[in-house]
Amino acid sequence: MEMHHYLRLTFILLFVLTSFVCIYFIIKKGKDRKGPKLLSNEKYNSSMTGGMTEISTSDSFFNIWPYVSELKAAKILSKKIKESDLVHKVYRNSTEDFEHILLATETENHFVKIVVDKNKKKVLGYLFLNI
């Protein structure tokens, strides 16, 4: 074989190896994607200091809709429920550090509760609530 055949085979081999490395990292990145976090009982109980009082949904300052979209993408919440019917109740603890937002599900008396840390201005996670 001539030299240009070896060069062509070398470039093809480099292309194939580079493709496999790229595919590997794309698959790995997809698996490492963080989704909504399920709260542990300890974290949930620590957010309920003092007692909870119900507040109106308009008094809640936190924008939950990006997190709700993540919950829908992870199939924790149904996409069939209208956003206007989604927020059932909002509770705030006595120190006003945390808000608990109850989201309706398709099943009656079953809710998804989102816990929001008002000081850090972020969602701590979610948990399932059966009443």
Q: What is the pLDDT of residues 23-39, one digit of tens each?
A: 998 888 776 667 788 89
DSSP-assigned letters across all residues of 1-52: --HHHHHHHHHHHHHHHHHHHHHHHHHHHHHT---PPBPPHHHHHHTT-S-E
- If one counts every other C-beta atom within 10 angstroms of the C-beta of residue 24, the result is 10
| pTM of the entire predicted model | 0.70
Q: What is the pLDDT of residues 43-71, one digit of tens each?
A: 888 888 778 888 887 776 778 888 998 89
Let me know the angle formed at the C-alpha of 49 by 43 and 52, rounded to the nearest 5 degrees. Answer: 105
**End-to-end Cα distance, the chain:** 77
Question: 28 burial class (0-12, 13-18, 19+ CB within 10 angstroms)?
Answer: exposed
